[in-house]
């Protein structure tokens, strides 16, 4: 058995790609529009995983966009996606500067949570040992659900 991908349905492809690519930093591996089925599949990978995703089909995040309007709720029921980052403080600051709410700030220098435009919870984990605790993160309160 081999893990292939995680699929997340999105209600607005442009908004989701802006979030996952421009803000979170993932990269498009492949994109395919299916005219007959009226949907688009976009496969994304973290920068360090792009080559492996293209060469050996390493696991990716699949965004599924159905062209006919649908309402998706209960994103929290999905659980969460998790990504390792090199500097959790810099990553969270970049996301906040891009208008993303960090729902659970990295007070411990190790873990943070945020949500996609469709309510999918995303966990960010510091690579290696936790960074030393520092402000403003140490004093930040949680915001909403994560």
Residue boundaries of the structural domains of the chain: 5-66, 75-131
What is the pTM assigned to this prediction?
0.76
| Topology of the domain comprising 75-131 | 2,3-Dihydroxybiphenyl 1,2-Dioxygenase; domain 1 (3.10.180)
- Which segments of the chain have a pLDDT < 70? 1, 74-79
Q: What is the per-residue pLDDT for 80?
A: 81
Place of tokens 């005219």: 35
The reply to whether 75-131 shares the fold of 5-66 is yes
Give catalytic residues, as residue numbers: 123
Place of tokens 């402000």: 135
Q: Which CATH superfamily is domain 5-66 in?
A: 2,3-Dihydroxybiphenyl 1,2-Dioxygenase, domain 1 (3.10.180.10)
How far separated are the first and last CA of the chain, in Å rounded? 30
CB 49 within 8 A of CB 81: no
CB 40 within 8 A of CB 93: no
């Amino acid at each position: 058995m081999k893990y292939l991908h995680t699929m997340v349905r999105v209600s607005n492809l442009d908004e989701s790609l802006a979030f996952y690519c421009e803000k979170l930093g993932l990269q498009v591996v492949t994109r395919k529009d299916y005219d007959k089925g009226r949907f688009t599949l976009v496969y994304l990978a973290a920068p360090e995983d792009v080559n492996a995703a293209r060469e050996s089909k390493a696991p990716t995040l699949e965004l599924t966009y159905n062209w006919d309007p649908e309402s998706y709720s209960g994103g929290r029921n999905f659980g969460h996606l998790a990504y390792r980052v090199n500097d959790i403080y810099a990553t969270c600051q970049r996301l906040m500067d891009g208008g993303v709410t960090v729902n659970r700030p990295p007070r411990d220098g190790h873990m943070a949570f945020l949500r996609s435009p469709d309510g999918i919870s995303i966990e960010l984990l510091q690579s290696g040992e936790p960074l030393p605790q520092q402000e403003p993160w140490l004093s930040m309160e949680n915001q909403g659900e994560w």
